[in-house]
Chain A
Amino acid sequence: AQKITQTQPGMFVQEKEAVTLDCTYDTSDPSYGLFWYKQPSSGEMIFLIYQGSYDQQNATEGRYSLNFQKARKSANLVISASQLGDSAMYFCAMREGSNAGNMLTFGGGTRLMVKP
């Protein structure tokens, strides 16, 4: 089974509007971390936000927030007030405590396009 699933291959959002990018995960490990990375057309991987499995509150970083629903195993990224520079690929990823080396497992990504 896929450990990280991103069901939206591509999305459009109007500039200045909010957008939610979906991510569901699959693990039986009680200790895990969830990450979101942004990959612009230039190719680099930019860390956006982190949520730990034991965190009681949803993570926030500026315009980014993570809607963490542990029982549903979802960790959706919310971008408020979209900007043209937000157009990029977005990847959800997980690090599990029991995995040797705690390797990061990635979803297939969502391409976000912000319309002016």
Chain B
Amino acid sequence: NAGVTQTPKFQVLKTGQSMTLQCAQDMNHEYMSWYRQDPGMGLRLIHYSVGAGITDQGEVPNGYNVSRSTTEDFPLRLLSAAPSQTSVYFCASSKQSATNEKLFFGSGTQLSVL
């Protein structure tokens, strides 16, 4: 079972570069989200989607774009990377956006912006 797959696992960018973090899930989950985790801290929500074609902002959306053209994929785009975006990024999914639905997480992408 693949679950939630994130690529790449590691990435180094220069300030101003753009890139896309890929996320795919094979569980037919409606709800997908992106979180960032800064050193020694909990996860903060960047963007989320409750279904194909529907996205919304989370707590820390600035500098990131998302789209959801299919149920399976939810890419995160960094438009112009900044050192403040150095972090570990997690993609997560759940069957639906209900209070009792646990999130399944990908293995994370460690991003460094120089």
Residues of A within 8 A of B (CB): 4, 6, 31-33, 35, 37, 43-45, 47, 50, 52-53, 91, 93, 95-97, 100-109
Provide the residues of chain A in CB contact with B45, threshold 8 Å. Answer: 103-105
Provide the residues of chain B in CB contact with A93, threshold 8 Å. Answer: 42-43
Question: Is B105 within 8 A of A102, CB to CB?
Answer: no
Complex interface residues of chain B between 50 and 73 (CB less than 8 A to chain A): 50, 56, 58
- Which listed residue (B40, B105, B110) contacts A45, Cβ 8 A? B105
Instruction: Looking at the assembled complex, report how far the CB atom of B76 sits from the nearest CB atom of chain A, in whole angstroms.
Output: 15
Provide the residues of chain A in CB contact with B1, threshold 8 Å. Answer: none
Instruction: Looking at the assembled complex, report how far the CB atom of A38 sits from the nearest CB atom of chain B, in whole angstroms.
Output: 11
Instruction: Looking at the assembled complex, report how far the CB atom of A61 sits from the nearest CB atom of chain B, in whole angstroms.
Output: 11
Question: Is B42 within 8 A of A104, CB to CB?
Answer: no
- Given A43-B88, A106-B43: A52 in contact with B56 (beta carbons within 8 A): no
- Which listed residue (B44, B92, B97) contacts A102, Cβ 8 A? B97
CA distance A62 to B109 in the complex (A): 30
Q: Top 6 closest A-B pairs, CB basis?
A: A106-B42, A45-B105, A33-B99, A102-B97, A106-B43, A95-B99
Asked whether any CB of chain A lies closer than 8 Å to the CB of B14, the reply is no
